[in-house]
């Protein structure tokens, strides 16, 4: 049973799994940027993040459509009708998009939780 997991199966890299997991952390009605994900992963591989998101096999089960570019523009999307579908999904979650750009982008922008400064066992 487990044998088939180690042969003849396209396996994603750990990097991609971390990216997809980061996508699941995005709350509904919010958006994030590739740069934020890269920072969350602790790397500057914005390009690699975008590629990993595009290879997301569980789309749109994973909110990959909540990821936009750093300047608030929609960016790209692979699936359905492409970018139009990405915008449609965002609208379905309450995120307004105009001229291929997220309305009130910085207000809708989601930031990943940072380590609590009130941590009792802080270093």
Residue ranges that bind DNA, judged by CB under 7 A: 13-16, 33-35, 43-56, 59, 64-65, 67, 69-71, 75-79, 86
The kind and range of the H/E element at 101 are strand 101-102
Nearer to DNA, 54 or 121 (CB): 54
Q: Please state, in angstroms and rounded to a whole number, the distance separating the CA atoms of residues 74 and 97.
A: 8
Cβ atoms of 45 and 35 closer than 8 Å? no
The residue with tokens 């044998």 is 3
Q: How far is the CB of 120 from DNA (least distance, A)?
A: 32
Of the pair 1, 98, the CB lying nearest DNA is at: 98
- Taking the complex as a whole, the smallest distance from the CB of residue 93 to DNA amounts, in Å, to 14
Checking DSSP bridges between strand 101-102 and strand 97-98, what pairing results, if any?
A: antiparallel
For residues 28 and 7, give the distance between their C-alpha atoms in angstroms, rounded to a whole number.
Answer: 37
Q: Known catalytic residues?
A: 64
Minimum CB distance to DNA, residue 113 (Å)? 20
Is 20 or 123 the residue whose CB approaches DNA more closely? 20
């Amino acid at each position: 049973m487990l044998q088939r997991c180690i042969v003849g199966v396209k396996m994603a890299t750990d990097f991609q799994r971390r990216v997809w997991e980061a996508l699941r952390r995005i709350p509904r009605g919010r958006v994030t940027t590739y740069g934020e994900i890269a920072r969350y992963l602790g790397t500057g591989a914005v390009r690699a993040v975008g590629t990993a998101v595009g290879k997301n096999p569980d789309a749109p089960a994973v909110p990959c459509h909540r990821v936009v570019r750093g300047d608030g523009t929609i960016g790209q999307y692979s699936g359905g009708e492409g970018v139009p579908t990405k915008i449609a999904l965002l609208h379905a979650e309450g995120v307004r998009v105009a001229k291929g750009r997220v309305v009130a982008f910085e207000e809708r922008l989601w930031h990943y939780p940072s380590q609590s400064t009130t941590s009792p066992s802080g270093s």
